[in-house]
């Protein structure tokens, strides 16, 4: 009986020890290292306008905003600059903001990071 009890205890301990091990790669732990994300010189015309064109303008262009984009236009610098904080909250899927793109996944971290840098650096146009 004692032998069986010891066998159960040892088996349980081995499962607990084995279950506590994990193997993360450097890329999973530190995703910004070697990511290829260019965060230098982020400007509206250089990075932000192409991000918007690829991810937002199907609903938020000057021609589609009334029908599909709730009247929110993001086609030019002045419109985007005036809504930058709201856009940042939406693309991050932050609590009080409507998550964008609508019915889509969150934008990749590089694009979100570039948008944050653009805001922090004073929202340069060129």
Chain segment 42-95, per-residue pLDDT in tens: 999 999 999 999 999 999 999 999 999 999 999 999 999 999 999 999 999 998
Tracing tokens 């990071």 back to the chain, one arrives at 113
- Beta-sheet strands, E only, within the chain: none
Q: For residues 124 and 81, what is the distance between their CA atoms, to the nearest angstrom? A: 9
Chain segment 32-44, per-residue pLDDT in tens: 555 689 999 999 9
**What tokens were used for 99?**
């998550």
pLDDT grade for 14, boundaries at 50, 70 and 90: confident
pLDDT grade for 96, boundaries at 50, 70 and 90: very high
pTM over 0.95: no
Binning the chain into helix, strand and coil, the percentages to the nearest 5 are: 55, 0, 45
Domain chopping of the chain, boundaries: 38-126
Map residue 31 onto helix, strand or coil: coil
Structure-model confidence comparison of residues 2 and 126, the more confident one: 126
Contact 91, 106 (CB under 8 A): yes
């Amino acid at each position: 009986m004692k032998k069986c009890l010891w066998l159960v205890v040892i088996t349980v301990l081995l499962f607990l020890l084995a279950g506590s091990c994990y193997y993360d790669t450097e890329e999973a732990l530190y995703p910004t290292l070697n990511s290829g994300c260019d965060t230098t010189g982020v400007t509206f015309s250089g990075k932000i306008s192409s991000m918007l064109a690829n991810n937002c303008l199907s609903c938020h262009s000057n021609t589609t905003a009334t029908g599909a984009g709730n009247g929110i236009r993001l086609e030019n610098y002045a419109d985007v600059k005036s809504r930058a904080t709201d856009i940042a909250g939406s693309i991050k899927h932050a609590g009080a903001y409507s998550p964008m793109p609508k019915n889509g996944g969150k934008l990749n971290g590089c694009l979100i990071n570039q948008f944050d840098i653009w805001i922090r650096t004073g929202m340069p146009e060129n």
